[in-house]
Chain A
């Protein structure tokens, strides 16, 4: 038995249980290599060994996420495991999402993950940060090469003691993770070098490839404000005095939800800002300056809006990562929609 133990994840098809008719198969395990795992095992030789194969129907995984994950987690925790391998999933969407889901489980268990995938498979984009994905072709025709590349990577992973280095040198797809290190020259010199190359039309390599940017189209104006339930949400950090949820002054990891029942006006006795990105004096003197509850109450009385929602949401938008901001926005939006809110005023600073 090789010392390095691998658990392999496959769907019902590659796990040789059945076709679409078995797509709702709950997770099962076999204490051996199956299907593509056999070739993988042979190529790994004495270095590593597949000790278990977990097989799940693609529909089951995607439609019963919680149960599927729970079961797979259980299987993974039964014995000692050094690495989880999944797929290759090629360009099969549901299979790719399942492999990605397994990467996330592996990450939760602090286990390394290697998957084979076609770069346009949505499972890669969604789950790339949780493991190492090796590029394969889009169909099963690229199985042989895919297995060979996965084996190469596993060997490299073992040789480097789990520190495979940068994606381009080590044969895995970028995980979208930025890591700090010290370069040879200071930034200003590198900028001048890059500038000279760019002027001369020579090849240069940007240190930060720009992402394609997620732009949100504004919705059309609310038609009947006088009948609408309106909420206020702020990234300006207005919180009840004492900042009960301890929202960070910068790089917020959470948002807060606070009652506005009976509140006519945000006073300096009851509210303050937790935001660390601006002079807080004026916001603390009168928190309505950032979250205009007083004006909203006036509008309510005047009949300009139907009603002010009984809760407001607040976080701090200071150095807060886009990923966190996106997650807060989604969670707040879902709650507001559930509560029947029809319009939201967002205030920043």
Chain B
């Protein structure tokens, strides 16, 4: 499973007459972009804007963030949606590093997020650091929520794919090579090192809490092995509207930090040999089955230790704890990554479940902590949703345009794959 990530460093993105890339400047033909990605007859309006880090701009409500990536042979990115499954996860992938596609509009309802490009809110979202091509998309009145979600999900993927294609003629600045070994290879090369895996939990509670694997709804899957290289090629796509702070946008799946960090020390401290995806369904029967299968799979692979991260909070805390318990009971050591819902004053219990076996936990912060976001010069999307999005409350949107919300409302602020440095500790 060898994959080369060929990165093109982008300094600026502008709209222009013709698609091109030169001297760090990516030029996009806006009309052609919009024409090519307008994929559904129910789209009533579609606009694109570019924002750079440091600008006094607020984007909300944010549906998804996607990184422009493409296979050098053109086919294979986002398998199941755009590319072919068989061609993902190998060969060369071209990336416009430092850029992202952000989708917004009168979206779905409650669980979309805020990205501030400057000010205090910018410290909390990874996407204040990317140059964002923001798509504001509206759909016909009466379009059902799940259809609306799907239209925006596909739109983001199409835009990322369109933009990335400009990079095919560009000489990349650097190449990162990944070579994910099989257990047999790892045993051959470093027989004395422990075997390590990654338990990658996908939000699948349903009713707009969906994640797709090769285009398949993760609710319907049984826990299974996946190639980490395929994850980098967009095999996992976000289709969910869980609270913005800890839903894994497609960008974060593409850049999964646990996979990257585990790979860093592969062959030195351990052999990183397995990435197991599992779901977070709502019934106890589903939870028991999935967690049992995860533990059995890890055991049959001979894993010594794993990192587990959840997505979302509350109900999935149970899945996290079940996975942890069943693995530890088999003697497989676990480290968990989660965020916390400790209340606005930080004094409540942080998770909806707990276990003594969970003795090694990394926290990505208390999502209930309240932040003041000063007014921005420009809002892309609609700030009238501030009171209603998860993390907002009555009076969140102040008259002067400033917003008082829980961190929960900020896209990626307490990401549980450990993409950011936010954390919490006890006082």
Contact = CB atoms under 8 A, between A and B. Distances in A.
Interface of A: 129, 166-167, 174-192, 194-196, 198-199, 204, 206-214, 246, 248-251, 253, 276-282, 317-319, 321-324
B335 interface: yes
Nearest to A200: B269
Contacts of A192: 258, 261-262, 264-265, 307
Interface in B39-65: none
B419 A129 contact: no
B390 A319 contact: yes
Interface string B63-87: 0000000000000000000000000
B368 A321 contact: yes
A324 B351 CA distance: 13
A280 B111 CA distance: 12
25 contacts: A166-B425, A174-B427, A177-B426, A178-B347, A178-B366, A178-B426, A179-B425, A182-B123, A186-B257, A191-B362, A195-B196, A195-B335, A198-B333, A198-B360, A199-B305, A206-B359, A207-B425, A210-B356, A211-B350, A249-B110, A249-B389, A250-B392, A277-B111, A321-B344, A323-B347
The 5 closest A-B pairs by CB, nearest first: A187-B418, A276-B110, A188-B418, A321-B348, A321-B343
Nearest to B357: A210
B362 A278 contact: no
From A166, A188, A322, residue with most partner B Cβ within 10 Å: A188
Contacts of A184: 421
A3 B123 CA distance: 39
Given A186-B419, A196-B265, A129 B345 contact: yes
B345 A191 contact: no
Contact of B362 (A180, A190, A282, A321): A190
A191 B337 contact: yes
B210 to A, nearest CB: 10
From A191, A276, A278, A279, residue with most partner B Cβ within 10 Å: A191
Given A208-B338, A251-B341, A277-B242, 13 more contacts: A129-B345, A175-B426, A178-B366, A178-B424, A186-B419, A188-B257, A188-B258, A192-B307, A195-B307, A195-B360, A199-B194, A213-B355, A281-B146
A318 B390 contact: yes
A191 B366 contact: no
Given A188-B419, A195-B360, A210 B347 contact: no
A349 to B, nearest CB: 8
A159 B165 CA distance: 60
Given A175-B427, A190-B418, A280-B145, A318 B314 contact: yes
Contact of A319 (B123, B264, B367): B367
Nearest to B324: A210
A129 B417 CA distance: 30
Nearest to B370: A251
Nearest to B413: A180
B287 interface: no
B343 A181 contact: no
Contacts of B258: 188, 191-192
From A175, A250, A279, residue with most partner B Cβ within 10 Å: A250
B353 interface: yes
B109 interface: yes
Contacts of B284: none
B156 interface: no
How big is chain B's contact interface, by range? 35 or more
A185 B421 contact: yes
Given A178-B424, A188-B417, A204-B360, A278 B313 contact: no
B363 A207 contact: yes
A183 B421 contact: yes
Nearest to B427: A177
B270 interface: yes
Contacts of B353: 213
Given A278-B209, A319-B243, A198 B420 contact: no
> Chain A interface secondary structure, helix, strand, loop or mixed?
loop
A317 B390 CA distance: 12
Contact of B424 (A179, A212, A277): A179
Given A180-B369, A195-B196, A280-B145, A209 B419 contact: no
A22 B80 CA distance: 79
From A210, A248, A278, A281, residue with most partner B Cβ within 10 Å: A210
Interface string B289-323: 00000000000000011110100011000000000
A110 to B, nearest CB: 14
A251 B243 CA distance: 11
Contact of A183 (B270, B359, B423): B423
B222 interface: no
B390 A182 contact: no
Contact of A187 (B146, B243, B419): B419
A167 B427 contact: yes
B1 interface: no
B300 to A, nearest CB: 19
A206 B356 CA distance: 12
B414 to A, nearest CB: 9
Contacts of B359: 206, 210
B307 A191 contact: yes
Nearest to A174: B426
Nearest to B108: A279
Contacts of B144: 281
Contacts of A212: 354
A206 B350 CA distance: 14
Given A199-B333, A250-B390, A278-B207, A207 B361 contact: yes
Nearest to B208: A279
B126 to A, nearest CB: 10
A210 B314 contact: no
A267 to B, nearest CB: 20
B358 interface: yes
A5 B258 CA distance: 52
A129 to B, nearest CB: 4
Contacts of A176: 347, 426
Contacts of A204: 360
Contact of B350 (A178, A183, A277, A280): A178
B172 interface: no
Contact of A277 (B108, B110, B262): B110
A319 B406 CA distance: 11
A194 B269 CA distance: 12
Nearest to B308: A191
Contacts of B314: 277, 317-319
Contact of B313 (A179, A183, A214, A319): A319
B408 A251 contact: yes
B367 to A, nearest CB: 7
A246 B108 CA distance: 20
A246 to B, nearest CB: 5
